[in-house]
Amino acid sequence: MSTYVALLNWTDQGVRNYKDTAKRADAFAAAAQKLGAKLLNLYWTVGPYDLVAVVEAPDDETATAALLQLGGVGNVRTTTLRAFDQEEMGRIIGKATG
């Protein structure tokens, strides 16, 4: 499984409905699971992003589908980063150094 870090900002709609944010997080976790992805952690943050989600998915297409569904509801905009753990980075370095 691959790991993705999604940086989320509330839209105007999302801010207006801030009281439902925990329920929306549960709904996103359930929707992601139906697609074969998993919400590992979700953090509400202070700073340039309102939330940070850590998602695990079998491939880029599944992660993208889950995050498109999330964005499609209209409460957040996402910026998604593919994250590599130490083992994956070791393999990448091995390929780079031949």
Rounded to an integer, what distance in angstroms lies between the CA atom of residue 60 and that of residue 45? 25
pLDDT tens digits, one per residue of 42-80: 999 999 999 999 999 999 999 999 999 999 999 999 999
Q: Which two tokens stand for residue 49?
A: 């992003």
Cα–Cα distance, 32 to 41 (Å, whole number): 12
pLDDT value for 4? 98
Helix, strand, coil percent content, the chain, rounded in steps of 5: 50, 30, 20
pLDDT digits (tens, 9 = 90+) for 2-24: 999 999 999 999 999 999 999 99
Eight-class DSSP state of 17: T
Q: Which H or E run contains 90?
A: helix 86-97
Q: What is the pLDDT of residue 18?
A: 95
Quick one: pLDDT at residue 98?
79
